[in-house]
């Protein structure tokens, strides 16, 4: 076995422990002590893999954000620009949030931590720019502003669904109605 591997199992253990801890509590409560205890490693090991707690939190947020973005990209990659693509991407986002407990702390409370605030802002802006094309295809005069507000609604819907622990059709329907589209049924009655 090589001395250096591309993968770092202990590092991943620490990130996984962070995800698990995020499930029931805010990021503000995530101390290095709790973290290493949950990961089952010594305290010093934490600093073998992360230069500081702040950098760990950024890495954790990034890790999570990336995997969610990947799912969304997969879901929409074969669709042309427009409302259907936006709806499909949003559904992937909502389902992705629901399937991961802990996302709440990671994506929503993260903004309040000075350490990750910049990271969150940068990621959001990237996201807005990347998907603004959908609104421009829909004929909105300022697609980026529209996208920003739409993301806020999608995030609120995700929050509501995570609080309830299941899909909230009322919120999703309101979301599509604000968008001005009625998504096609998957299995239309005939």
Q: Catalog residues that contact DNA under the rule CB under 7 A.
A: 1-4, 8-11, 31-34, 41-49, 52-54
Nearer to its own copies, 35 or 171 (CB): 171
**Distance of alpha carbon 130 from alpha carbon 108, whole angstroms:** 20
- How far lies 178's CA from each of 79, 108, 135, 136, 171, in Å? 21, 22, 13, 16, 11
Kindly state the smallest distance separating residue 10's Cβ from its own copies, in Å: 28
Kindly state the smallest distance separating residue 83's Cβ from its own copies, in Å: 14
Nearer to DNA, 37 or 99 (CB): 37
44, interface contact from DNA, its own copies, none, CB < 5-8 Å by kind: DNA
Q: What are phi and psi of 81, to 5 degrees?
A: -60, 145
6, interface contact from DNA, its own copies, none, CB < 5-8 Å by kind: none
Kindly state the smallest distance separating residue 145's Cβ from DNA, in Å: 37
Nearer to its own copies, 160 or 183 (CB): 160
**Distance of alpha carbon 30 from alpha carbon 165, whole angstroms:** 23
Kindly state the smallest distance separating residue 43's Cβ from its own copies, in Å: 23
If we measure between CA atoms, which residue out of 97, 137, 109 comes closest to residue 26? 109
49, interface contact from its own copies, DNA, none, CB < 5-8 Å by kind: DNA
93, interface contact from its own copies, DNA, none, CB < 5-8 Å by kind: none
Residues 6+ apart with CB under 8 A from 117: 110, 111
- In the block, tokens 């603004």 appear at 132
Alpha helices in 40-79 (DSSP H): 43-49, 53-76
């Amino acid at each position: 076995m090589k001395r250096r591997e591309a993968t770092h199992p202990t590092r991943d253990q620490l990130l996984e422990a962070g995800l698990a801890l995020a499930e029931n509590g805010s990021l503000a409560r995530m101390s290095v002590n709790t973290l290493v205890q949950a990961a089952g490693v010594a305290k010093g090991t934490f600093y073998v893999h992360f230069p500081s707690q702040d950098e760990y939190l950024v890495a954790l947020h990034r890790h999570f954000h990336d995997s969610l973005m990947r799912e969304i990209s997969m879901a929409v990659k074969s669709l042309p620009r427009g409302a259907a693509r936006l709806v499909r991407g949003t559904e992937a986002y909502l389902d992705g949030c629901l399937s991961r407990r802990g996302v709440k702390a990671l994506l929503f409370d993260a903004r309040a931590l000075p350490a990750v605030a910049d990271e969150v802002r940068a990621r959001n802006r990237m996201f807005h720019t990347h998907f603004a094309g959908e609104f421009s295809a829909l004929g909105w005069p300022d697609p980026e502003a529209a996208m920003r507000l739409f993301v806020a609604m999608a995030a609120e819907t995700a929050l509501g669904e995570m609080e309830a622990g299941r899909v909230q059709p009322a919120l999703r329907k309101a979301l599509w109605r604000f968008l001005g589209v009625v998504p096609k049924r998957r299995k239309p009655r005939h």
